[in-house]
Every structure is written in C-alpha cells, then in structure tokens.
Amino acid sequence: MFLWLHLKQNKKKTSFAVKQSDGDDDDDDDVTAAVTTTRRVESEEEEEEEEEEVREEGFPPKTLRSNRGLTENQVREKLEIYGENVLNPPKEKSWVELWAQQFDDRLVQILLVVAAISTASSVSQAMGSDPQSITTESMLELFVEPFIIILILMINAGVGVWQQLSAISSLEALKKLQPRLTTVLRQNNQGEDEWFTDIDASQLVPGDLIKVKVGDMVPADAYVCDLLSSAVLSVDESALSGESVSVEKEAIASNDWNTAICDGNDGYDSKPVNEQKSTLFSSTVITKGNAEAIVAKTGAQTEIGKIQKGIVSAEIIKTPLNERLDKFGNDLALLIAGICVAVWLISIPRFDDPSFASIFEGAVYYTKVAVSLGVAAIPEGLPAVITLVLALGTRRLAERNVIVRNLPSVETLGCVSIICTDKTGTLTTNQMTVESMLVMESQNNTNMWTELKVEGSSYYPIGKVNGLMEDELNACPSGAIADIFAVSVGCNDAQLVKTSDEVSIIGEPTEGALLTLAEKLAMKKEEGSLDRNRQRWLCDWKKYTTLDFDRKRKSMGVFCRNIHSGKETLLVKGAPNLLFERCTHVKLRSGSICEITDDIRDEFSSVITSLSSRPLRCLLLAVKDVDFDQYAGDIHRPEMFESIETGLTAVGIVGIRDPPRKEALESIRLCGQAGIRIAMITGDAKDTAVAIAKELTILPKDPMGTPLKAYEGKDFFSKSENEQKSLLASGNLVFYRTEPTDKQNIVKMLQSLGEVPAMTGDGVNDAPALRQANIGIAMGSGTEVAKEAADMILVDNSFSTIVKGVEEGRCIYANMQAFINFLISCNIGEVFAVFFASLFGFPSLLSSLQLLWVNLVTDGPPATALGYNPPDSEVMSRSPRDRNEEIITPWLLTRYFITGTYIAISTVGIFASYFLDSGLSFDEVRQWSTCAEWASNDSICLAFSQESLSIPQTLALSALVTVELLKALSSVSVDTSITKIGPQRNPALLLGVVIPFVIHLGILYSGKLGVPSIASSFGVVPLSVEQWISVFLWSLPILLIDDILKAYGKTINKNSHIANQ
C-alpha cells in the first residue's frame, strides 16, 4: 500500500475545476458544479510494471486502483497494535482518594481530634449519668458539639470533592475535538474498494486512506498524498501552532516516503509543526481545497495527544493564598497543641477536688476545658469564609465578563507578576482584516498610490473606508474602487457566517477579510445581512471558471460574465511582486487607465516594502477584459494559467493583518503601572510578532541601540539555563516560532525564579501552559481544551478584562487580610479568655458549644461582610506583592495579640465581676471547687452550681459577642481610623453585625418567644438592662484601643517606606 502511494506521487496528473452557474438568480450561494478532467500519462505497460512492483511487495496482483483499502482483518489487527484513535484517559482517583485528600489540612485535622475528644468526653459523661435521667434532649445536648464539628468537615469535604471532579473534566474536553465521522477507503464485503463516509474516527488506524475537504476537521495525523480538484490545500492550524494565517500543504515528496512511513521512524515528522508542509494534524481545519491523505498517527501519538500528555504532566501549583494558609495552619496547630496541653497539665492538681466524684471525673472535666480551648483557638469558620469571599469575588468578576473555574485563582490574580500571553486571539482579534487599501490617483499630473485607511478589526462589516467618497461605487462604476469591490467578491470562495453575536468565516481568512472589505466599500448596507452587497453582485455576474492558486505564480483568477451585457472579465488576486510583473496597465481611481512605467514600478516596489514592514500581508488586485473562447483550450492546463494571467490591469493593493484589540494598548499600559511584566509567546514569525509587540508597547518602538528582547523558541532554549533565566529575569519579552512545550517550559522557568505567572491563550497549543501556570486564563471564543485547562475564562476575549481581574484580585486580598486578621484577633481573644480563666482557677467560663457558636455565627457573617470593603483607589499603582509575603506581618500579629488580650480581659472581667458584685472575693472565686470546705453556708456553694453559672456565662458570652462585633466595625480599614473610614462605607458589614447580634438576642430571650429549649441547650439566660449596660462598658474600649494601634501602625509603615527609599 505504501509503495502504491510512492508510485502515485510520480503520476503526471493534472486537475482543474470549472465552476458553472445553475442559472438560479435568486440563489444567494451561487451553487456551482465541479468538473474535473484527469489526463493519464502512463501507458498500459507502465501500469503493468507498477502492478508487478506492488506484487513483489506482497500486495494482491490487481490494478493499483483496487486493494488500497484496508480489509476488516487488517483494521482489527492494527487496532490491537495501535489502539483506538482516541486520547488516553487519565488515571482517575477514586471517590475514597478524593474524599481522603480533603482532610490533608492541619486545621481540619485539629478539628477532627477535637471532635474525637469531645465525643469521647460526651460518651464518658453519658456513661457516668443516672440511666433514669438520660433523655433524648439530654443526649442531644451532650453530642451536639461533636456533631456540628463533623457536619462542618463533611460539608467542606463535599465541596472539595466537587471542585476536583470539575477540574478533572479538562482532559475530557480534548475528546470533544475528535471528529466522530470521516471518509475512509476500505474494502467492502465483496473485497472491492469503497469509500465509506460514515466510519467512526475512533476506528482509524495507520495506513488508512482518508479524504478531507473544505470545512472538515482532520481526524488523525496524516500525510497528504494527493491534492484533488485543486492545486492548493490550506489548513487552519492556529489552534495548534498559534499562527493566524492558514498553512498551505503539499503532497509529500517521493523521497520522503521511506523516512516518513516505510522506515517507520520519526525522521520526517521530527521537524517543528510549522515546518511539516505535507502533514495534516488531528483537529486542525481544512480551509481550502480537498485531498487524499494516509493516516500516520492516531490517538495519543498525534500532536494533540502529545499536548494531552503535557496537560497530564503539568504540575498543579498551589496558589500563594493556599501556601500562606498551609503555613498558618501548621503554626497554629503547634500553638494550639501546646496551649491545650499546658492548660490540661496546669489543671492536674485539681483532678481530685472534692467537687469531683473521682480523679477520672476531674480529668474528664479539665479535658473538656482543654477541648473548649481548642475550639476557641481554631477559626472553624475561616475555610468557609474564605470560600464565600472568593465566591463573592467571582460574582463581581462575572459582571466583568470573567468566569472563574477555580476559586483560589481569584486571589492569585492579586500577586501576578508577569502575564504570559498568546498573540493570536488574545492580543489580536484572530480575524484577518484589511487595514489599508491603496489606489492610484493623478495628483499634479503625476500618478501616485494613495492609501485609504480601513476601519474595523473583525469580520463584522462595520467601519468605513476613510477617504472614500459617498456612493463612490455608483458615482464611478468604471473606477478602480468598483474593480476592487468586484475582485474582492468575485475572486473569492469564502463565506461570512453569523453565529450568536459574532461573525466567522468558512474558507480562507484572507478571503474573509476581502469579503468584509467589499461590504465596507458597498454603497447599500442593509440591516440583518452580512453580505447582501456580495449577493447583489452575484446576481449581475456569474463565475464559471477558476484558475486555482499555485505556489509558482502565487495568484488566483476567476472568469466572470455579466449576465446583462455579456461582458467577460478575468478577476485576479495574488502576491504583489509576482503579479505586478504580469500587469501592463494601472487603472486610476477615476477610471482612466495608464501604462505602467519604470517610475510607477519603482514607486510600487517602495509601497509594497513600506506595507510589508508594518507588517501587512499584501495582495495586488487586477482585472482583464477577455474573450473566454480565446482561452477555452488552456483553462484545463494549470501550466498555462500564468500566461492567461498576463496583460493585466492593476486596480489596487490591500494590506491585511490580524489586528490588535483596541483595548489591549491601554491594558498593557496599566500592567506596566501595576508592576506587571508582559511576555508574548506566539507561533507567528518574528516580523509579525515584533510589530504587534511594538504597537502595543510590549517592546519599545525605538530601542535606541539596545537589542530587542525577542527570541525564537528553539534559539532561546539552545542557550544555557543560566542565560535563559537571566533573560527572563526582567523586562517585557517576545517569543516567536514557539512550540507548545516551549510555553510550558517558559512558565516553569518563571516559577523557578519566584515569579507568579498568569498564562493566557485560546488554542489547543496553550492548554499545557494554562494548566502549568499559577493562573491559566482562556479566551471565551477559544477551544474547549483551553477553557477546561484554565482557571478562569474571559467571556469577551478582552485582554483588558485581565487587568480588571488583577484589580479585583488585589482588592480581594486586602479584604481577605482584613477578615483573616479580624478572625485571628477574635480567636486569640477567645483562647486567652479560656486560658486566663483556667490559669486563675475560675469555674467554666464558656462551654465548647458556646465558643463554637461564636466562631461560626458571630464571627462568620462580619468576616464575610468585610469582603465587601470598597477597593483602595491606589490598588493598581502598587507593585505585585511577594508570593511569600505573610498574611499577618510581625507588627500585625503584635497588634492583634494586643486587641485579643483586651477581648479576653473584657470576657473574663465581666465573668469575675459578677461573683465579686455578689460579695465573693477573688480568692473565693478561684477556690470554687473546694467551696464545701470554706463556705459559711450552702448558698455560697450554690453560686457555683451549673444552674447558677448560666448567668455569669451569659454575661461572658454576651461581652465576647459584643466586643467582637465592635472589632468588626473598626476593620473596614486596616490602617485608617473608624472616624475617617466608618462602617457606613460597607452596608454589608452593618448587616453582618446587626444580624448576628439579633440572633444572639433571640437565643437569650427564646423563652419569652415560646422556645425555652434553645436557651437551655446553649446554657444561657435573659439579661437585665443593668447587665447589658455592664456588657457595653466592658466592650466599647476596643474601638479606642484599635484606633490607637492603627495610628501607631501608620507611623511604622511610613518610617519603613522612608527607610526603603
């Protein structure tokens, strides 16, 4: 079979296509018929020789046209060897593994220990109780604490598993790119060759012969062995290579067959993707022509399969926030364990107090005290509050057209130090657009090329041609503008298509740009129609023969006839330098025609050089009045096409490119202001990449003698590792002609330098780097692979949205720092309160359930509301923060220890004052457990009973709730006084403070509301007005203390800033 392909390359075949109207003037698409004539040069003797060679290779001795298709047995054998044409599924983690992974966190592990100890304590207490006194209500009270802790952990674990299952779907998106059905030559049941059009692409095997045509997605990596009905085969490889221009393919040369296929090695396809001119890659799209190709690689061996391996191998990097929280969790775990053990050890001498029936009962009691301390120390609500605040950030980002797939990535945006961005479709529109049109005009008796700027940056035909006279096509129907319109429409096989609110094309991007230009040139524009003016032209003119593009003459021609006048015209477009050599005249804008002189040729060369340096892809448009009968004998012979396209009249030049997005320039300026570097990584050529980079100020327009930091992918990675890192260490960079693995390697190297890179992109080739980067950002119009591999998606494809996201990320971090510091300050106060009470030997200050309630309900809503703090006006004027920056700096830790100490003082103080106001001394309160030995009467000991303790515990709980809520009100700003930036700037915070306080009142006065069991479950009682006054007198000083610390902190920060300057 491979030998047949080798022989087939040496056949002298010629194909041409004749397009003929079906005569239906109302048909907008101008249905055409293709007529193909094949001339065989080989004699029957040559065919017999070829058959003999095939027979020697072991193939059936039949004609070459038969037995090329694989048999069912051959397909089955190859499927066993190579496997199905699908991507290898990744190893999936089991539910058990995913679930267990959620508990690999210090805070969670501490909570598990606390829950276990609390459960053991409750079981012990239940076993020591009188069986007749055990009721359902009492059992619920005993186990409510461990139940709530475990419930919280289960919910957090469930959310974590759900997030991971969503992330795993990134690899599944690759499979969606695999086309399902394809056209394959196989042997039928009668042993004869037959083209099957419904073969599942997953059943393709190396050696299959397939057909591809315009619009088809290539089903596997394959080598082109024959071009059908056209001399040109173009493929859109932008999603794979990053190049915005379609790539022309050619049949593989006969001397490459042994290397590419017969020898079974990778000598041929070891070349970079953009240099493999005879290879069709899986999941790329045919934009022009059709061909036969032989499948070379399937499944995981294809280029897209290699990309899948890159995604699998990409290391998942923890976000800076996760790293900081992990460190905080480890430090807090050691601190909590130390304090809890210390409290328990301090209490050992009290295990045999008379108030306990046994030493064991005393040990259990003080174990519960230590557990209470653990509950107080652990910010149980911290993971939930962080999740909620990040979710609030995602909602705000959604309003800015950003869809967040990975919550921690929201905060990561705040410390991004470099954005590695693809060019095509990210900084540019990925829609080829005519930006410049040149026509010749007579000025002061001198013919000169005049440039007309064309507005617009997409296929949507909106924008005008500056300098175009009103209704010029009608006013001057024989002028150059009318001919430019005719060539743009007539010498064109593309079609504009509207999908939702976007316009795309079917066919060549360059031809799509010409169709859009034609609509902008047209005098009549109608709503709801993309190409109505093209359709009007097709009603007057009929295309009946196409001279296909070929690489030698680099032009395309179309014969047209006016159905009204019978006038016949040849419309031609092509490479300017070659096509202008075949022109003898130039048509002026006015319609007059002048002969081409040496001066005109010199000016033409200068104009093309100028346009190419911008750089623009230039096309020359030309026309020629013809008598079709004169060329009837030559239109079937491609070698005659160049002679047919001579004696032309040039009518205009167009400059085409993939333009930068309008908003990208301002966004890159803001990135520079915010200290964020840009690295543009593209598969495009150097000239195109550097020109776009200069236009967007990524690179300096005038380097003033310094070398541009623009590097070809393979050249950069040929340098030493130290040199690579040195080049990456500073400034903006441009990488061109890169391979998919280059992007991922650049990201890895930046991470090794301590950078926090964000990677943007929209193509399949961007997926591994998107997964590798600290934050991957995909374009909304990009491939499913890119979207699924990314952390967030830009719905509007706008680079500027990234800048808005960075601003949001920085704001979220500032707010996160505020609520984390609020929570830690409150938890320090709770820990110190329990510790001080134990140190002084006071009765139980607060139960574990009361402390858990404070952490979840009283602390949670205010902390969440702090996420709504307004952004700092200077947030985008600061450099990115260091990923190693502590959430809590040494000064902040000192500050919150001070405020935490006062929270503890107010809580313990009001608890102790209750007993002191009752006539007991401080020493008597400390010796409460031996009350029976020193009390003068039993009423004194009753003050320490569980029922009587509910009053001072309620005072302590109310003081703790109030002082923490006041602390929340002062946390709107970390450094600014509450008198300057008050809580009224954050209405959500006011609600976050009022609602928990109302809930607290509801629990205290639940008996009056008809639900006394709620208050009894929490061990609280209603307070009098006098008692509430005492609560506020103990709580309000926190505002003054916090403001004093803020003022001192500002002085420290100011002095530090001056010292660093």
Question: Sheet containing 775-779: which strands, arranged edge to edge?
Answer: 402-404, 792-794, 775-779, 757-761, 418-421, 677-681, 733-736, 710-712
For residue range 572-592, list pLDDT tens digits in order.
Answer: 999 999 999 999 999 999 999
Query: β-strands 733-736, 710-712: how paired?
Result: parallel
Distances (CA, A) of 906 to 7, 69, 964: 95, 88, 11
- Residue 42 pLDDT level (bands cut at 50, 70, 90): very low
Structure letter (DSSP) for residue 674: T
Summarised one tens digit per residue, pLDDT across range 797-848 is 777 788 888 888 888 877 877 887 788 888 888 888 888 887 887 887 887 6
Contact between residue 843 and residue 928 where contact means Cβ atoms under 8 Å apart: yes
- Which tokens belong to 662? 């309008």
Instruction: Match 């004194």 to its residue by tokens.
Output: 940
Cα separation, 213 vs 1028, whole angstroms: 83
541, β-bridge pairs: 562
Binned at pLDDT 50, 70 and 90, residue 1028 comes out as very high
Neighbours of 590 (CB within 10 A): 15
Contact 322, 408 (CB under 8 A): yes
Q: pLDDT tens-digit profile of 51-90?
A: 333 333 332 222 223 347 898 899 999 999 988 888 766 5
Rounded-to-integer distance, Cα 1019 and Cα 1013, Å = 10
Alpha carbon distance 556, 948 (integer Å): 99
* pLDDT classification of 784: cutoffs 50, 70, 90: low
Please name which of 2, 9, 11, 4 lies closest in space to residue 64, comparing C-alpha atoms: 4
Q: How far are the Cα atoms of 1002, 1010, 1012 from residue 1007, in angstroms, in the given order?
A: 9, 5, 4
Q: Is 147 exposed, middle or buried (0-12, 13-18, 19+ CB in 10 A)?
A: middle
Instruction: Name residue 226's beta-bridge partners.
Output: 292
Q: For the full predicted model, state whether its pTM sits above 0.85.
A: no
| Other C-beta atoms lying within 10 Å of the C-beta of residue 627 | 8
pLDDT at residue 353, as a whole number:
72
Give the pLDDT band (50/70/90) at residue 19: very low
Q: Which residue has the higher pLDDT, 1008 or 405?
A: 1008
Rounded Cα distance between 826 and 905, Å, is 12
pLDDT of residue 679: 95
Task: pLDDT band for 124, please (50, 70, 90 cuts).
Answer: low
The set of catalytic residues is 422
The sheet with strand 233-236 has its strands ordered as 247-249, 233-236, 285-288
Q: Are 857 and 378 in contact (CB under 8 A)?
A: no
Task: Please tell me the total number of residues recorded for the chain in this structure.
Answer: 1061
Query: How many whole angstroms from its chain centre is CA 58?
Result: 53
- Which residues have CB under 8 Å from 300's CB, separation 6+? 83, 87, 88, 306, 308, 309
Residue 748's alpha-carbon distances to 127, 398, 768, in angstroms, are 59, 29, 11
Tell me the per-residue pLDDT of 634-664, one tens digit each, with 9 for 90 and over. Answer: 888 888 999 999 999 999 999 999 888 888 8
Mean pLDDT (whole number) for 1021-1041? 94
Separation CA 28–CA 531 (nearest Å): 9
**757-761 vs 775-779, strand pairing mode:** parallel
Distance separating alpha carbons of residues 362 and 352, to the nearest angstrom: 6
| List of residues 6+ apart from 49 with CB closer than 8 A | none
Residue 737 pLDDT greater than 90, yes or no: no
Please determine, for residue 16, whether its predicted confidence score (pLDDT) is greater than 60: no
Calculate the CA dihedral of residues 788, 790, 791, 796 and round it to 10 degrees: -90
Helices (H), 500-544: 509-521, 532-540
Which SS3 state, helix, strand or coil, does residue 499 take?
strand
Within 8 A by CB and 6+ apart from 465, the residues are 437, 452, 453, 454, 455, 517, 520, 521
How far the first Cα of the chain sits from its last, in Å, is: 75
Angle between helices 740-752 and 721-728 (to 10 degrees): 80
pLDDT greater than 70 at residue 620: yes
How do residues 863-888 score in pLDDT, each as one tens digit? 888 878 877 666 787 788 777 777 67
Three-class SS state of 764: helix
994: pLDDT strictly greater than 50:
yes
Give CA angle at 800 (658, 987), nearest 5°: 160
More confident residue, 41 or 938: 938
pLDDT bracket for residue 622 (50, 70, 90)? very high
Neighbouring CB atoms inside 10 A of 1002's CB total: 13
What local confidence, expressed as pLDDT, does residue 1008 receive?
84
C-alpha to C-alpha distances, 954 to 610, 711, 888, 958, 965, nearest whole angstrom: 84, 70, 32, 6, 16
**Half-sphere exposure at residue 510, Cβ-oriented, CA atoms within 13 angstroms:** 22
What pLDDT, on the 0 to 100 scale, is given for residue 707? Answer: 83
Helix (H, G, I), strand (E, B) or coil at 735: strand
Measure the CA angle with vertex 384, ends 861 and 338; round to 5°: 100
Q: Grade residue 375 by pLDDT with cuts at 50, 70 and 90.
A: low
HEC states along 926-953? HCHHHHHHHCCCHHHHHCCCHHHHHHHH
Three-class secondary structure of residue 57 per DSSP = coil
Contacts of 215 (CB under 8 A, 6+ apart): 285, 286, 506
